[in-house]
Structure 1
């Protein structure tokens, strides 16, 4: 077993042990807690667990005097909310965080590599201007002032609008992106300045299988459901479009994200034991809208069978800064 497999296996084990400690390691027990009127308690306990983990990360960054936090993880893991909440924790410790989007360092569209089918490959590492990124970050860490770029996704050109930044002793850079844990992305920066985080939702819930044996609920499905709801709410994508892109998204994760899990200093579990019960309210009508004649009907039907095993929970009690708000909406961050 490789280092990256050991790391993610350890995170899964921790999630499983915690689920057992709070007495919710199966769908039946989760539903029992909701039906007994303890849904609010469940939400607060799950959110407190994640808050504790975020505090520990911020504490380590502060104590170790790390100057740049790099966040990576698969689709719909909650990278953006994690970066926002870490910023709040760091501010509470007297530090000044600055979020810098790695996507703003894309090469101009005309220079973007193409795949074997002649289409632009926006996920490959070569789609980024690594030389400029490393030069800018090095200058920042050396105390120089730089002008931050903004990538115009409509024109496919990197632009500059006078957004200047200079950091001091108590400043921390936060950068998230699919290549953030790949050493080649930040080749020019000293390792002692970096704090690398891998984020993924790893709920360890079980349900009785067809053979009577416990079967684990797929954490890949939790990310897919998150994405279906978010894409519908923020991008205007229907379920079928999201499902049609999912295999391509998964291939990109296997190629560009999962191989670098072992580079992380910290593995963060963004899964919430109650999230299926909350997200089903948003996902169910969307999945029901997939016609039987659609090539994606079977996938939609399978996801419907999954979420229908969960009882509803009152989403009113989900905190505005919850990672789940990145997908179902109603959050306090502009995402």
Structure 2
């Protein structure tokens, strides 16, 4: 008699019975109709699992493809694994680096090579296509960490060895693509033939791997020049290399050696120096062309508010009188906020701002009037009013911070020569290892989760539930305008995830396994497990990180 297991398939909205030990892949092939995009992984009881996962107890399963937030990550991780093997075969004597994200893909370099030619890019693409056509299985295994470290050492992956050695665990999860070994903090597709769409293009000193996006997983977007953004990534990557913390393993080693205090001081001093230089540029523009307005934009939890306040201090040193306004305070009342495609409040839409009131206030302030400005209460969702009115004098520079700062529709009546535009984001510069980058979105999500819990009364589940909508809004309303900036500022601090870990872990563990957000909570917990915690005691009260963990000397 066969042992049958009940499986509730959310894609089919019904219960099916399968033999004990059946894989998710076999269930999908037998029961699910073929969709427009291949299924890449699945949520089992709200936890992400590879399709090779076998069923031994009753479960609820939800299959996902590249249109899903986590599905596109599975696609990207698997593509990077195929890329690693292709490059190792073509350049066996050279180290390979996946440096950072770029649009829908990532930028890579081969050590000792000052760029690659179009012919070499074609060779990498061709080898990847051959690996894809071979449908090579990707095998997940649990091995003793000491054995994994020895294997990575044998392969010359000292960065992976250092990571495993600084996070002592008896067992670790490894992935194999033939004789290629990888370490990832997320699921991969079951075999190489799931990754059909990609391109390799020469770029700067290396090459750009082009991948599809979640909104259009069956097409590659044309390469859009992002020179300013690339320069910021590249500068900070070079800097963390010089500081000796290019990877999490190196960072952990310094923390374990007692160097956390010095790391904090260096990172904070670097921020201060960068802000001082930006202030010098603004002051020069004020003198030469009458710049009176600084617009600071950036995605959620990029640190716009604290950066604006610290920039204001630097401008005061130069004899200017900064006056700060937050666009968040010009939100319409919650019941007037536009909704997104899911029916949720769309705070990322420009229409969530009372544009008429905001532009009326700008005109009156620059005309020399004194007027009260609003204050938005995130708890009640209603506008309040400051008691003290604002007024600009001859030395004043108006600093406006908010996600729409670089959108020309925000300030159509202000002449361009009066505006100085800054784009701020958390361009995470430390990598998990040389081949596994840390997503900037994960860094910002951790920041937002910790801050929302402390100041806005939201638990981790609520923040996770809204994050996909936030990301859609950023892609639509913020990222298209980032290259309009006169200057970009990287708000990341290379030590910060080590500080955020205990704050985030506490609230992530409160997410129940009965909700869809549980899977993302578990993924983030697994990610955070790679970092040795840092005590926040020595973080100065003016640090940007204090905006999220508390203890800031600034008023928000």
- Please give the TM-score of this superposition, normalised by the length of structure 2: 0.56
Match of 1:287 in 2: 508
| Equivalent runs, 1:210-221 vs 2, <5 Å | 214-221=435-442
1:129 CA drift (Å): 3.4
Q: Deviations over 1:230-270 (max 9, x none)?
A: 11111221111111111011111111111110111111100
Q: Deviations over 1:38-69 (max 9, x none)?
A: 11111111111110011011111111102111
Match of 1:21 in 2: 242
Is 1:77 matched up with 2:302?
Answer: yes
Is 1:2 matched up with 2:253?
Answer: no
Is 1:177 matched up with 2:402?
Answer: yes
Deviates more, 1:320-329 or 1:98-107: 98-107
SS in 1 for 2:230: helix
User: Among 523, 527, 530, which residue is 1:302 paired with?
Assistant: 523
Deviates more, 1:7-16 or 1:120-129: 120-129
Match of 1:147 in 2: 371
1:314 CA drift (Å): 2.1
Label 1:152 to 1:36 Cα distance change in 2 as closer, same or farther (>3 A): closer
SS in 2 for 1:215: coil
Q: Deviations over 1:278-305 (max 9, x none)?
A: 1112111222222333322221111111
Number of matched pairs: 329
Label 1:236 to 1:203 Cα distance change in 2 as closer, same or farther (>3 A): same
Match of 1:330 in 2: 551
Is 1:234 matched up with 2:459?
Answer: no
Contact 2:373–2:386, Cα closer than 8 Å, also in 1: yes
User: For 1:115 and 1:306, how far apart are their aligned partners in 2?
Assistant: 30
Contact 1:227–1:242, Cα closer than 8 Å, also in 2: yes
Contact 2:323–2:398, Cα closer than 8 Å, also in 1: yes
User: For 1:108 and 1:299, how far apart are their aligned partners in 2?
Assistant: 31
SS in 2 for 1:64: helix
Contact 1:115–1:121, Cα closer than 8 Å, also in 2: yes
| Equivalent runs, 1:103-252 vs 2, <5 Å | 103-107=328-332, 113-115=338-340, 121-142=346-367, 144-150=368-374, 153=377, 163-208=388-433, 214-252=435-473
User: For 2:536 and 2:508, how far apart are their aligned partners in 1?
Assistant: 19
User: For 1:155 and 1:224, how far apart are their aligned partners in 2?
Assistant: 23
More helix, by proportion = 1
Contact 2:229–2:488, Cα closer than 8 Å, also in 1: yes
User: For 1:155 and 1:324, how far apart are their aligned partners in 2?
Assistant: 26
Is 1:268 matched up with 2:493?
Answer: no
1:316 CA drift (Å): 0.5
Contact 1:134–1:189, Cα closer than 8 Å, also in 2: no
User: For 1:108 and 1:227, how far apart are their aligned partners in 2?
Assistant: 22
Label 1:148 to 1:274 Cα distance change in 2 as closer, same or farther (>3 A): same
RMSD between aligned residues: 2.2
User: For 1:117 and 1:299, how far apart are their aligned partners in 2?
Assistant: 19
Q: Deviations over 1:136-159 (max 9, x none)?
A: 3233224x2142331565887766
Deviates more, 1:282-291 or 1:126-135: 126-135
User: For 2:357 and 2:550, how far apart are their aligned partners in 1?
Assistant: 35
Q: Which protein, 1 or 2, shows the higher relative CO under an 8 Å CA cutoff with sep ≥ 6?
A: 1
| Equivalent runs, 1:47-66 vs 2, <5 Å | 47-65=268-286, 66=291
Label 1:151 to 1:236 Cα distance change in 2 as closer, same or farther (>3 A): closer
Bigger Rg, which one: 2
SS in 2 for 1:30: helix
Residue ranges of structure 1 left out of the alignment (5+ in a row): none
User: For 1:37 and 1:157, how far apart are their aligned partners in 2?
Assistant: 47
- Please give the TM-score of this superposition, normalised by the length of structure 1: 0.90
Deviates more, 1:87-96 or 1:124-133: 124-133
Q: Deviations over 1:116-168 (max 9, x none)?
A: 566654432233333442333233224x2142331565887766667433322
More strand, by proportion = 2
User: For 1:299 and 1:161, how far apart are their aligned partners in 2?
Assistant: 39
